[in-house]
Chain A
Amino acid sequence: MDKRNSKSGLADRIPGKVWLLLSFLAALLLWWVLSIIPATSRAFPNMFKVLGSISTMITRGVLWKDISSSLISVFSGYVLGFVIALPVAILMAWYKPVRFIIEPWIQFIRNIPPLAYVPLIVIAAGVGRKPQIIVITIACFLTMCVTIYQGVINVDETLIKAARVLGATDKDIFIRVIAPATLPFILTAIRLGASVALTTLIAAESTGATAGLGMRIRSLNNSFEPAPMLLYIIIIGILGITIEKLIKTAERRLTSWQEKREI
Protein backbone atom coordinates (compact mmCIF):
# COMPACT_ATOMS: atom_id res chain seq x y z
CA MET A 1 0.00 0.00 0.00
CA ASP A 2 1.37 3.37 -0.80
CA LYS A 3 1.10 6.12 1.72
CA ARG A 4 0.91 9.63 0.34
CA ASN A 5 -0.24 12.58 2.40
CA SER A 6 -2.50 12.46 5.40
CA LYS A 7 -4.94 14.48 3.30
CA SER A 8 -6.03 11.38 1.40
CA GLY A 9 -7.35 9.85 4.61
CA LEU A 10 -10.62 8.65 3.13
CA ALA A 11 -8.92 7.17 0.09
CA ASP A 12 -6.62 5.17 2.36
CA ARG A 13 -9.33 3.92 4.67
CA ILE A 14 -11.32 2.32 1.88
CA PRO A 15 -9.71 -1.02 0.99
CA GLY A 16 -8.27 -1.55 -2.49
CA LYS A 17 -10.84 -4.20 -3.38
CA VAL A 18 -13.67 -1.76 -2.74
CA TRP A 19 -11.99 0.81 -4.97
CA LEU A 20 -11.70 -1.80 -7.68
CA LEU A 21 -15.43 -2.48 -7.40
CA LEU A 22 -16.22 1.24 -7.49
CA SER A 23 -14.05 1.71 -10.55
CA PHE A 24 -15.80 -1.22 -12.21
CA LEU A 25 -19.22 0.23 -11.45
CA ALA A 26 -18.15 3.63 -12.77
CA ALA A 27 -17.10 2.01 -16.04
CA LEU A 28 -20.42 0.18 -16.30
CA LEU A 29 -22.23 3.45 -15.70
CA LEU A 30 -20.22 5.19 -18.41
CA TRP A 31 -20.92 2.29 -20.76
CA TRP A 32 -24.65 2.52 -20.01
CA VAL A 33 -24.61 6.29 -20.65
CA LEU A 34 -22.81 5.76 -23.96
CA SER A 35 -25.34 3.11 -24.94
CA ILE A 36 -28.29 5.50 -24.58
CA ILE A 37 -26.77 8.61 -26.14
CA PRO A 38 -27.91 8.43 -29.80
CA ALA A 39 -24.56 9.51 -31.19
CA THR A 40 -22.64 6.69 -29.45
CA SER A 41 -25.29 4.05 -29.00
CA ARG A 42 -24.49 2.32 -32.27
CA ALA A 43 -20.82 1.84 -31.33
CA PHE A 44 -21.60 0.92 -27.73
CA PRO A 45 -24.55 -1.46 -27.62
CA ASN A 46 -25.82 -2.09 -24.13
CA MET A 47 -24.15 -4.70 -22.00
CA PHE A 48 -26.91 -7.29 -22.27
CA LYS A 49 -26.51 -7.35 -26.03
CA VAL A 50 -22.76 -7.73 -25.59
CA LEU A 51 -23.17 -10.51 -23.02
CA GLY A 52 -25.71 -12.13 -25.31
CA SER A 53 -23.19 -12.13 -28.13
CA ILE A 54 -21.08 -14.60 -26.13
CA SER A 55 -23.58 -17.34 -26.92
CA THR A 56 -23.94 -16.08 -30.50
CA MET A 57 -20.22 -16.46 -31.07
CA ILE A 58 -20.17 -19.85 -29.34
CA THR A 59 -23.03 -21.09 -31.54
CA ARG A 60 -21.18 -19.86 -34.59
CA GLY A 61 -18.36 -22.06 -33.32
CA VAL A 62 -15.71 -19.34 -33.46
CA LEU A 63 -15.22 -17.99 -29.93
CA TRP A 64 -12.87 -20.68 -28.60
CA LYS A 65 -11.21 -21.06 -31.96
CA ASP A 66 -10.48 -17.33 -32.10
CA ILE A 67 -9.16 -17.18 -28.57
CA SER A 68 -6.92 -20.22 -28.96
CA SER A 69 -5.69 -19.15 -32.38
CA SER A 70 -4.69 -15.73 -31.07
CA LEU A 71 -3.07 -17.16 -27.97
CA ILE A 72 -1.03 -19.58 -30.07
CA SER A 73 0.24 -16.74 -32.29
CA VAL A 74 0.90 -14.42 -29.37
CA PHE A 75 2.67 -17.07 -27.35
CA SER A 76 4.83 -18.36 -30.21
CA GLY A 77 5.85 -14.90 -31.37
CA TYR A 78 6.52 -13.81 -27.84
CA VAL A 79 8.69 -16.79 -26.93
CA LEU A 80 10.60 -16.56 -30.21
CA GLY A 81 11.08 -12.82 -29.73
CA PHE A 82 12.52 -13.41 -26.27
CA VAL A 83 14.78 -16.25 -27.37
CA ILE A 84 16.29 -14.00 -30.03
CA ALA A 85 16.35 -10.83 -27.92
CA LEU A 86 18.28 -12.29 -24.98
CA PRO A 87 21.52 -13.26 -26.78
CA VAL A 88 21.37 -10.24 -29.12
CA ALA A 89 21.01 -7.87 -26.16
CA ILE A 90 23.94 -9.50 -24.38
CA LEU A 91 26.11 -9.35 -27.50
CA MET A 92 25.18 -5.71 -28.00
CA ALA A 93 26.14 -4.89 -24.45
CA TRP A 94 29.44 -6.74 -24.63
CA TYR A 95 30.73 -6.03 -28.10
CA LYS A 96 30.67 -2.44 -29.22
CA PRO A 97 30.78 -3.23 -32.97
CA VAL A 98 27.64 -5.35 -32.61
CA ARG A 99 25.96 -2.52 -30.74
CA PHE A 100 26.97 0.16 -33.23
CA ILE A 101 25.71 -1.86 -36.17
CA ILE A 102 22.44 -3.17 -34.72
CA GLU A 103 21.19 -0.51 -32.33
CA PRO A 104 20.27 2.26 -34.81
CA TRP A 105 18.12 -0.19 -36.76
CA ILE A 106 16.37 -1.46 -33.69
CA GLN A 107 15.46 2.12 -32.80
CA PHE A 108 14.43 2.82 -36.40
CA ILE A 109 12.14 -0.17 -36.81
CA ARG A 110 10.73 0.18 -33.31
CA ASN A 111 9.12 3.45 -34.30
CA ILE A 112 7.35 2.04 -37.34
CA PRO A 113 3.84 0.72 -36.61
CA PRO A 114 3.82 -3.04 -37.41
CA LEU A 115 0.69 -2.55 -39.54
CA ALA A 116 2.90 -0.68 -42.02
CA TYR A 117 5.24 -3.57 -42.78
CA VAL A 118 2.70 -6.39 -42.53
CA PRO A 119 2.12 -6.47 -46.35
CA LEU A 120 5.84 -7.01 -46.93
CA ILE A 121 5.80 -9.95 -44.54
CA VAL A 122 2.78 -11.45 -46.27
CA ILE A 123 4.53 -11.12 -49.62
CA ALA A 124 7.58 -12.86 -48.20
CA ALA A 125 5.96 -15.49 -45.98
CA GLY A 126 2.52 -15.98 -47.50
CA VAL A 127 -0.70 -16.09 -45.52
CA GLY A 128 -1.59 -18.17 -42.50
CA ARG A 129 0.04 -18.70 -39.13
CA LYS A 130 3.59 -17.96 -40.23
CA PRO A 131 3.29 -14.22 -40.97
CA GLN A 132 1.32 -13.69 -37.75
CA ILE A 133 4.08 -15.21 -35.68
CA ILE A 134 6.73 -13.28 -37.59
CA VAL A 135 5.01 -9.92 -36.96
CA ILE A 136 4.65 -10.59 -33.24
CA THR A 137 8.21 -11.93 -33.02
CA ILE A 138 9.61 -8.76 -34.58
CA ALA A 139 7.64 -6.44 -32.29
CA CYS A 140 8.49 -8.44 -29.16
CA PHE A 141 12.12 -8.78 -30.13
CA LEU A 142 12.56 -5.03 -30.59
CA THR A 143 11.07 -4.08 -27.24
CA MET A 144 12.65 -6.86 -25.23
CA CYS A 145 16.07 -6.44 -26.83
CA VAL A 146 16.23 -2.75 -25.93
CA THR A 147 15.12 -3.38 -22.34
CA ILE A 148 17.50 -6.28 -21.68
CA TYR A 149 20.37 -4.43 -23.31
CA GLN A 150 19.77 -1.47 -20.97
CA GLY A 151 19.88 -3.89 -18.06
CA VAL A 152 23.18 -5.46 -19.06
CA ILE A 153 24.96 -2.17 -19.67
CA ASN A 154 23.62 -0.71 -16.44
CA VAL A 155 25.11 -3.41 -14.21
CA ASP A 156 26.90 -1.54 -11.43
CA GLU A 157 30.59 -1.49 -12.32
CA THR A 158 31.64 -1.70 -8.66
CA LEU A 159 29.82 -5.02 -8.27
CA ILE A 160 31.89 -6.45 -11.09
CA LYS A 161 35.04 -5.01 -9.55
CA ALA A 162 34.07 -6.38 -6.13
CA ALA A 163 33.60 -9.85 -7.60
CA ARG A 164 36.86 -9.61 -9.49
CA VAL A 165 38.95 -8.67 -6.45
CA LEU A 166 37.37 -11.59 -4.59
CA GLY A 167 38.85 -13.83 -7.28
CA ALA A 168 35.89 -14.31 -9.62
CA THR A 169 36.65 -15.45 -13.16
CA ASP A 170 34.84 -14.05 -16.22
CA LYS A 171 32.48 -17.01 -16.09
CA ASP A 172 31.75 -16.44 -12.38
CA ILE A 173 31.09 -12.79 -13.10
CA PHE A 174 28.67 -13.59 -15.88
CA ILE A 175 26.72 -16.22 -13.97
CA ARG A 176 26.89 -14.81 -10.48
CA VAL A 177 26.89 -11.05 -11.05
CA ILE A 178 25.69 -9.99 -14.49
CA ALA A 179 22.87 -12.53 -14.75
CA PRO A 180 21.23 -11.76 -11.37
CA ALA A 181 21.85 -8.03 -11.77
CA THR A 182 20.09 -8.11 -15.15
CA LEU A 183 17.21 -10.28 -13.96
CA PRO A 184 14.92 -7.35 -13.03
CA PHE A 185 15.37 -5.92 -16.53
CA ILE A 186 14.74 -9.31 -18.11
CA LEU A 187 11.50 -9.59 -16.16
CA THR A 188 10.50 -6.07 -17.17
CA ALA A 189 11.27 -7.04 -20.76
CA ILE A 190 9.08 -10.11 -20.40
CA ARG A 191 6.23 -7.97 -19.12
CA LEU A 192 6.58 -5.25 -21.77
CA GLY A 193 6.94 -7.94 -24.44
CA ALA A 194 3.66 -9.53 -23.43
CA SER A 195 1.84 -6.26 -23.79
CA VAL A 196 3.49 -5.57 -27.15
CA ALA A 197 2.54 -9.06 -28.35
CA LEU A 198 -1.12 -8.37 -27.64
CA THR A 199 -1.15 -4.87 -29.09
CA THR A 200 0.46 -6.21 -32.25
CA LEU A 201 -2.19 -8.90 -32.55
CA ILE A 202 -4.56 -6.89 -34.78
CA ALA A 203 -1.78 -6.04 -37.19
CA ALA A 204 -0.53 -9.62 -37.11
CA GLU A 205 -3.95 -11.02 -37.91
CA SER A 206 -4.50 -8.68 -40.81
CA THR A 207 -2.32 -11.09 -42.76
CA GLY A 208 -5.24 -13.08 -44.06
CA ALA A 209 -5.79 -15.09 -40.92
CA THR A 210 -8.73 -17.48 -40.84
CA ALA A 211 -9.37 -17.17 -37.12
CA GLY A 212 -8.24 -15.00 -34.23
CA LEU A 213 -9.50 -12.20 -32.05
CA GLY A 214 -8.02 -9.49 -34.23
CA MET A 215 -9.17 -11.10 -37.47
CA ARG A 216 -12.70 -11.56 -36.08
CA ILE A 217 -12.97 -7.89 -35.05
CA ARG A 218 -12.21 -6.87 -38.61
CA SER A 219 -14.70 -9.29 -40.08
CA LEU A 220 -17.41 -8.25 -37.59
CA ASN A 221 -16.70 -4.71 -38.68
CA ASN A 222 -17.46 -5.68 -42.25
CA SER A 223 -20.76 -7.33 -41.27
CA PHE A 224 -21.49 -4.43 -38.91
CA GLU A 225 -21.99 -6.29 -35.62
CA PRO A 226 -20.87 -3.94 -32.87
CA ALA A 227 -21.99 -6.14 -29.94
CA PRO A 228 -19.65 -9.10 -30.55
CA MET A 229 -16.97 -6.61 -31.63
CA LEU A 230 -17.08 -4.95 -28.24
CA LEU A 231 -17.07 -8.39 -26.62
CA TYR A 232 -13.87 -9.30 -28.46
CA ILE A 233 -12.24 -6.01 -27.52
CA ILE A 234 -13.03 -6.71 -23.88
CA ILE A 235 -11.64 -10.24 -24.18
CA ILE A 236 -8.32 -8.87 -25.48
CA GLY A 237 -8.23 -6.48 -22.51
CA ILE A 238 -8.93 -9.27 -20.03
CA LEU A 239 -6.23 -11.46 -21.55
CA GLY A 240 -3.77 -8.59 -21.35
CA ILE A 241 -4.41 -7.75 -17.74
CA THR A 242 -4.33 -11.41 -16.70
CA ILE A 243 -0.98 -12.01 -18.35
CA GLU A 244 0.44 -8.86 -16.83
CA LYS A 245 -0.76 -9.82 -13.35
CA LEU A 246 0.81 -13.26 -13.67
CA ILE A 247 4.15 -11.82 -14.75
CA LYS A 248 4.08 -9.17 -12.03
CA THR A 249 3.57 -11.82 -9.39
CA ALA A 250 6.57 -13.74 -10.70
CA GLU A 251 8.56 -10.51 -10.82
CA ARG A 252 7.80 -9.72 -7.19
CA ARG A 253 8.85 -13.19 -6.10
CA LEU A 254 12.09 -13.19 -8.04
CA THR A 255 13.33 -9.67 -7.35
CA SER A 256 12.22 -8.98 -3.81
CA TRP A 257 15.83 -8.11 -2.99
CA GLN A 258 15.58 -4.95 -5.06
CA GLU A 259 15.91 -1.57 -3.42
CA LYS A 260 13.40 0.12 -5.74
CA ARG A 261 10.72 -1.30 -7.91
CA GLU A 262 9.94 0.01 -11.35
CA ILE A 263 6.35 0.61 -12.28
Chain B
Amino acid sequence: MAGEARDLMNKENVCIRIDGVRKVFNGRNGEMVALNGVDLDIHDNEFICVVGPSGCGKSTLLNIIAGLLEPTEGKVYCNGKEVTGTGTERGVVFQQYALFPWLTVKKNVMFALEMRGVKGKEAETEAMKYLEMVDLAKFADHYPKELSGGMKQRVAIARAYAAEPQVLLMDEPFGALDAQTRTQLQTELLETWQKKKKTCFFITHDVDEAIILAQKVIIMSARPGRIKRIVDINIPYPRTQETKMTPEFIELKNEIWGQVYQEYLEVRK
Protein backbone atom coordinates (compact mmCIF):
# COMPACT_ATOMS: atom_id res chain seq x y z
CA MET B 1 0.00 0.00 0.00
CA ALA B 2 2.72 2.42 0.95
CA GLY B 3 4.62 1.05 -2.02
CA GLU B 4 1.86 2.11 -4.38
CA ALA B 5 1.88 5.61 -2.99
CA ARG B 6 5.65 5.84 -3.35
CA ASP B 7 5.28 4.62 -6.90
CA LEU B 8 3.02 7.49 -7.84
CA MET B 9 5.20 10.09 -6.20
CA ASN B 10 8.58 9.15 -7.54
CA LYS B 11 7.78 7.20 -10.62
CA GLU B 12 10.25 9.11 -12.82
CA ASN B 13 13.30 9.26 -10.73
CA VAL B 14 13.39 6.08 -8.72
CA CYS B 15 16.10 4.14 -10.42
CA ILE B 16 16.48 1.16 -8.09
CA ARG B 17 13.84 0.02 -5.65
CA ILE B 18 14.70 -2.53 -3.01
CA ASP B 19 11.56 -4.03 -1.60
CA GLY B 20 11.60 -6.19 1.52
CA VAL B 21 14.81 -7.98 0.64
CA ARG B 22 15.87 -10.84 2.88
CA LYS B 23 18.82 -13.08 2.19
CA VAL B 24 19.55 -16.32 3.98
CA PHE B 25 22.67 -18.37 3.33
CA ASN B 26 22.72 -22.05 4.15
CA GLY B 27 26.12 -22.76 5.59
CA ARG B 28 27.65 -25.63 7.48
CA ASN B 29 26.56 -24.11 10.76
CA GLY B 30 22.96 -23.85 9.69
CA GLU B 31 21.15 -20.82 8.37
CA MET B 32 22.76 -17.40 8.36
CA VAL B 33 20.51 -14.42 7.83
CA ALA B 34 22.62 -11.88 5.97
CA LEU B 35 19.90 -9.37 5.22
CA ASN B 36 16.52 -8.93 6.77
CA GLY B 37 13.78 -6.63 5.54
CA VAL B 38 15.77 -4.12 3.54
CA ASP B 39 13.75 -1.40 1.81
CA LEU B 40 15.41 1.39 -0.09
CA ASP B 41 14.79 3.67 -3.04
CA ILE B 42 17.75 4.90 -5.02
CA HIS B 43 17.00 7.92 -7.18
CA ASP B 44 18.56 8.91 -10.46
CA ASN B 45 21.94 10.59 -10.18
CA GLU B 46 22.04 10.09 -6.46
CA PHE B 47 25.31 9.28 -4.71
CA ILE B 48 24.65 6.85 -1.87
CA CYS B 49 27.23 5.40 0.47
CA VAL B 50 26.58 2.39 2.65
CA VAL B 51 28.56 1.95 5.85
CA GLY B 52 28.39 -0.75 8.48
CA PRO B 53 30.52 -3.27 10.31
CA SER B 54 32.00 -6.16 8.37
CA GLY B 55 29.54 -8.94 7.90
CA CYS B 56 26.51 -6.65 7.95
CA GLY B 57 25.54 -7.72 4.47
CA LYS B 58 26.62 -4.59 2.56
CA SER B 59 28.28 -6.61 -0.17
CA THR B 60 25.41 -9.07 -0.26
CA LEU B 61 23.03 -6.19 -0.86
CA LEU B 62 25.21 -4.85 -3.68
CA ASN B 63 25.41 -8.29 -5.27
CA ILE B 64 21.65 -8.62 -5.11
CA ILE B 65 21.18 -5.24 -6.81
CA ALA B 66 23.75 -6.25 -9.43
CA GLY B 67 21.82 -9.46 -10.07
CA LEU B 68 24.78 -11.62 -9.10
CA LEU B 69 22.85 -13.02 -6.11
CA GLU B 70 19.18 -13.79 -5.74
CA PRO B 71 17.28 -12.56 -2.69
CA THR B 72 15.61 -15.24 -0.57
CA GLU B 73 12.60 -12.98 -0.15
CA GLY B 74 11.62 -9.62 -1.55
CA LYS B 75 12.43 -8.04 -4.86
CA VAL B 76 14.66 -5.49 -6.49
CA TYR B 77 13.35 -3.31 -9.30
CA CYS B 78 15.41 -1.38 -11.77
CA ASN B 79 13.42 1.27 -13.64
CA GLY B 80 10.28 -0.48 -12.47
CA LYS B 81 11.32 -3.85 -13.89
CA GLU B 82 12.11 -6.73 -11.60
CA VAL B 83 15.79 -7.66 -11.46
CA THR B 84 16.31 -11.31 -12.34
CA GLY B 85 19.99 -11.28 -13.29
CA THR B 86 22.78 -9.00 -14.29
CA GLY B 87 22.06 -6.15 -16.65
CA THR B 88 24.18 -3.57 -18.42
CA GLU B 89 22.22 -0.73 -16.81
CA ARG B 90 23.87 -1.79 -13.54
CA GLY B 91 27.66 -1.62 -13.63
CA VAL B 92 29.90 -2.95 -10.89
CA VAL B 93 33.35 -1.88 -9.68
CA PHE B 94 34.95 -4.58 -7.55
CA GLN B 95 37.43 -4.16 -4.74
CA GLN B 96 39.86 -6.55 -6.44
CA TYR B 97 39.72 -4.46 -9.67
CA ALA B 98 38.78 -7.55 -11.73
CA LEU B 99 40.71 -6.39 -14.79
CA PHE B 100 41.41 -9.05 -17.39
CA PRO B 101 45.15 -9.58 -16.95
CA TRP B 102 45.63 -10.86 -20.52
CA LEU B 103 44.23 -7.68 -22.04
CA THR B 104 45.96 -4.33 -22.20
CA VAL B 105 44.41 -1.38 -20.42
CA LYS B 106 42.79 -0.16 -23.64
CA LYS B 107 41.47 -3.61 -24.52
CA ASN B 108 39.98 -3.97 -21.05
CA VAL B 109 37.94 -0.83 -21.68
CA MET B 110 37.16 -2.01 -25.20
CA PHE B 111 35.73 -5.23 -23.74
CA ALA B 112 32.94 -3.17 -22.17
CA LEU B 113 32.32 -1.32 -25.43
CA GLU B 114 32.29 -4.49 -27.52
CA MET B 115 29.73 -6.07 -25.22
CA ARG B 116 27.58 -3.03 -26.02
CA GLY B 117 28.04 -3.65 -29.73
CA VAL B 118 30.64 -0.95 -30.41
CA LYS B 119 33.25 -2.59 -32.64
CA GLY B 120 36.68 -2.04 -34.17
CA LYS B 121 38.13 1.42 -34.66
CA GLU B 122 35.15 3.07 -33.05
CA ALA B 123 35.59 1.01 -29.90
CA GLU B 124 39.24 1.99 -29.85
CA THR B 125 38.60 5.74 -30.05
CA GLU B 126 35.79 5.46 -27.51
CA ALA B 127 38.06 3.51 -25.13
CA MET B 128 40.69 6.23 -25.36
CA LYS B 129 38.10 8.82 -24.34
CA TYR B 130 37.29 6.87 -21.20
CA LEU B 131 40.97 6.42 -20.44
CA GLU B 132 41.49 10.16 -20.80
CA MET B 133 38.67 10.64 -18.33
CA VAL B 134 40.67 8.76 -15.69
CA ASP B 135 43.94 10.27 -16.94
CA LEU B 136 45.45 6.99 -18.08
CA ALA B 137 45.61 7.45 -21.85
CA LYS B 138 49.41 7.15 -21.66
CA PHE B 139 49.06 3.64 -20.27
CA ALA B 140 46.66 2.36 -22.92
CA ASP B 141 49.02 -0.34 -24.14
CA HIS B 142 50.23 -1.51 -20.75
CA TYR B 143 49.13 -4.73 -19.13
CA PRO B 144 47.39 -4.52 -15.73
CA LYS B 145 50.37 -6.14 -14.00
CA GLU B 146 52.42 -3.07 -14.90
CA LEU B 147 50.08 -0.69 -13.05
CA SER B 148 49.80 0.28 -9.39
CA GLY B 149 46.67 -0.57 -7.40
CA GLY B 150 45.28 2.94 -7.79
CA MET B 151 45.82 2.92 -11.53
CA LYS B 152 44.19 -0.48 -11.85
CA GLN B 153 41.12 0.78 -10.07
CA ARG B 154 40.98 3.83 -12.35
CA VAL B 155 41.00 1.48 -15.33
CA ALA B 156 38.22 -0.52 -13.70
CA ILE B 157 36.21 2.68 -13.24
CA ALA B 158 36.84 3.68 -16.86
CA ARG B 159 35.70 0.23 -17.98
CA ALA B 160 32.58 0.44 -15.84
CA TYR B 161 31.77 3.88 -17.31
CA ALA B 162 32.39 2.59 -20.83
CA ALA B 163 29.53 0.14 -20.41
CA GLU B 164 27.36 3.26 -19.87
CA PRO B 165 25.37 1.89 -17.00
CA GLN B 166 22.66 3.93 -15.37
CA VAL B 167 23.82 2.92 -11.91
CA LEU B 168 27.34 2.29 -10.76
CA LEU B 169 27.60 -0.21 -7.92
CA MET B 170 30.92 0.02 -6.12
CA ASP B 171 31.98 -2.59 -3.60
CA GLU B 172 34.65 -1.02 -1.39
CA PRO B 173 36.54 0.00 -4.52
CA PHE B 174 39.25 1.89 -2.66
CA GLY B 175 39.50 -0.54 0.26
CA ALA B 176 42.78 -2.09 -0.86
CA LEU B 177 44.54 1.21 -1.57
CA ASP B 178 46.83 3.29 0.61
CA ALA B 179 45.40 6.40 2.27
CA GLN B 180 46.93 8.87 -0.18
CA THR B 181 45.83 7.08 -3.31
CA ARG B 182 42.43 6.63 -1.77
CA THR B 183 41.87 10.37 -1.17
CA GLN B 184 43.06 11.10 -4.67
CA LEU B 185 40.66 8.61 -6.20
CA GLN B 186 37.81 9.96 -4.08
CA THR B 187 38.39 13.43 -5.52
CA GLU B 188 38.62 12.04 -9.05
CA LEU B 189 35.49 9.96 -8.64
CA LEU B 190 33.56 13.01 -7.45
CA GLU B 191 34.79 15.06 -10.40
CA THR B 192 33.74 12.34 -12.82
CA TRP B 193 30.40 11.96 -11.13
CA GLN B 194 29.74 15.69 -11.42
CA LYS B 195 30.81 15.75 -15.08
CA LYS B 196 28.98 12.62 -16.17
CA LYS B 197 25.99 12.34 -13.90
CA LYS B 198 25.35 8.83 -12.76
CA THR B 199 23.67 7.04 -9.91
CA CYS B 200 26.29 5.71 -7.52
CA PHE B 201 25.82 3.08 -4.85
CA PHE B 202 29.10 2.92 -3.00
CA ILE B 203 30.00 0.54 -0.19
CA THR B 204 32.73 1.42 2.27
CA HIS B 205 33.71 0.87 5.87
CA ASP B 206 35.43 4.25 5.94
CA VAL B 207 33.10 6.87 7.45
CA ASP B 208 35.21 9.80 6.15
CA GLU B 209 35.01 8.39 2.67
CA ALA B 210 31.25 7.99 2.93
CA ILE B 211 30.69 11.60 4.04
CA ILE B 212 33.02 13.17 1.51
CA LEU B 213 31.37 11.30 -1.38
CA ALA B 214 27.72 10.82 -0.61
CA GLN B 215 24.52 12.78 -0.60
CA LYS B 216 23.05 10.11 1.64
CA VAL B 217 24.86 7.79 3.99
CA ILE B 218 23.10 4.57 4.83
CA ILE B 219 24.12 2.97 8.11
CA MET B 220 23.55 -0.74 8.28
CA SER B 221 23.12 -2.70 11.46
CA ALA B 222 25.06 -5.80 12.43
CA ARG B 223 23.85 -9.21 11.33
CA PRO B 224 21.20 -9.70 10.21
CA GLY B 225 21.78 -6.62 8.07
CA ARG B 226 19.07 -3.99 8.14
CA ILE B 227 19.05 -0.31 7.34
CA LYS B 228 19.57 1.35 10.67
CA ARG B 229 19.54 4.98 9.64
CA ILE B 230 19.80 7.18 6.59
CA VAL B 231 21.77 10.38 7.12
CA ASP B 232 21.51 13.20 4.57
CA ILE B 233 24.82 14.89 3.88
CA ASN B 234 23.99 18.47 3.07
CA ILE B 235 27.50 19.64 2.35
CA PRO B 236 27.56 21.30 -1.08
CA TYR B 237 29.75 19.99 -3.89
CA PRO B 238 32.49 20.34 -5.01
CA ARG B 239 33.92 18.83 -1.88
CA THR B 240 37.65 18.70 -1.39
CA GLN B 241 39.90 17.23 1.24
CA GLU B 242 39.60 20.57 3.13
CA THR B 243 35.93 19.77 3.60
CA LYS B 244 37.06 17.21 6.14
CA MET B 245 38.19 20.06 8.45
CA THR B 246 34.85 21.86 8.50
CA PRO B 247 32.71 21.71 11.67
CA GLU B 248 29.71 20.28 9.80
CA PHE B 249 31.83 17.42 8.47
CA ILE B 250 33.20 16.66 11.92
CA GLU B 251 29.75 16.76 13.44
CA LEU B 252 28.41 14.32 10.84
CA LYS B 253 31.43 12.12 11.32
CA ASN B 254 30.87 11.94 15.06
CA GLU B 255 27.25 11.11 14.59
CA ILE B 256 27.74 8.43 11.95
CA TRP B 257 30.82 6.95 13.58
CA GLY B 258 28.93 6.67 16.88
CA GLN B 259 26.16 4.72 15.18
CA VAL B 260 28.57 2.45 13.32
CA TYR B 261 30.62 1.88 16.44
CA GLN B 262 27.55 0.64 18.31
CA GLU B 263 27.15 -1.95 15.59
CA TYR B 264 30.79 -2.95 15.82
CA LEU B 265 30.24 -3.63 19.52
CA GLU B 266 27.15 -5.61 18.59
CA VAL B 267 29.23 -7.80 16.27
CA ARG B 268 31.87 -8.42 18.91
CA LYS B 269 29.34 -9.64 21.44
Contacts of A61 in B (CB 8 A): none
Which residues of B from 94 to 122 have beta carbons under 8 Å from A? 94, 96, 98-103, 111-112, 115-116
Minimum CB distance partner of A255 in chain B: B102
Interface bin, chain B? 20 to 34
Contacts of B103 in A (CB 8 A): 257
Minimum CB distance partner of B117 in chain A: A167
The 5 A-B pairs with the shortest beta carbon distances in the complex, nearest first, are A162-B98, A167-B115, A167-B88, A158-B98, A180-B102
Q: A258, B66: Cβ atoms under 8 Å?
A: no
A207: min CB distance to chain B, Å:
42
Query: When each residue 122-163 of chain B gets 1 if its CB lies under 8 Å from chain A and 0 otherwise, what string results?
Result: 000000000000000000000111000000000000010001
Contacts of A256 in B (CB 8 A): 143
Q: Is B90 an interface residue (CB 8 A)?
A: yes
Which residues of A from 195 to 245 have beta carbons under 8 Å from B? none
Q: A166, B115: Cβ atoms under 8 Å?
A: yes
Minimum CB distance partner of A159 in chain B: B98
Bound Cα distance A163, B66 (Å): 12
Interface of B: prevailing SS: loop
Contacts of A156 in B (CB 8 A): 98
Bound Cα distance A218, B67 (Å): 64
Q: Is B187 an interface residue (CB 8 A)?
A: no
A164: min CB distance to chain B, Å:
5
B51: min CB distance to chain A, Å:
22
Q: B94, A158: Cβ atoms under 8 Å?
A: yes
Pick from A162, A172, A177, A259: contact of B94, CB below 8 A: A162
Q: Give 18 CB contacts A-B under 8 Å.
A: A161-B68, A161-B92, A161-B98, A162-B99, A163-B111, A163-B115, A164-B68, A164-B86, A165-B90, A166-B111, A166-B115, A166-B159, A167-B86, A167-B163, A180-B100, A180-B102, A181-B102, A259-B101
Bound Cα distance A198, B189 (Å): 56
Minimum CB distance partner of B101 in chain A: A257
Query: When each residue 110-146 of chain A gets 1 if its CB lies under 8 Å from chain B and 0 otherwise, what string results?
Result: 0000000000000000000000000000000000000
Interface of A: prevailing SS: helix
Q: B66, A176: Cβ atoms under 8 Å?
A: no
Bound Cα distance A172, B112 (Å): 12
Bound Cα distance A259, B152 (Å): 13
Bound Cα distance A172, B111 (Å): 10
Bound Cα distance A33, B259 (Å): 80
Contacts of A159 in B (CB 8 A): 98, 100
B141: min CB distance to chain A, Å:
12
Bound Cα distance A46, B71 (Å): 76
Q: Is B91 an interface residue (CB 8 A)?
A: yes
A107: min CB distance to chain B, Å:
25
Bound Cα distance A244, B212 (Å): 56
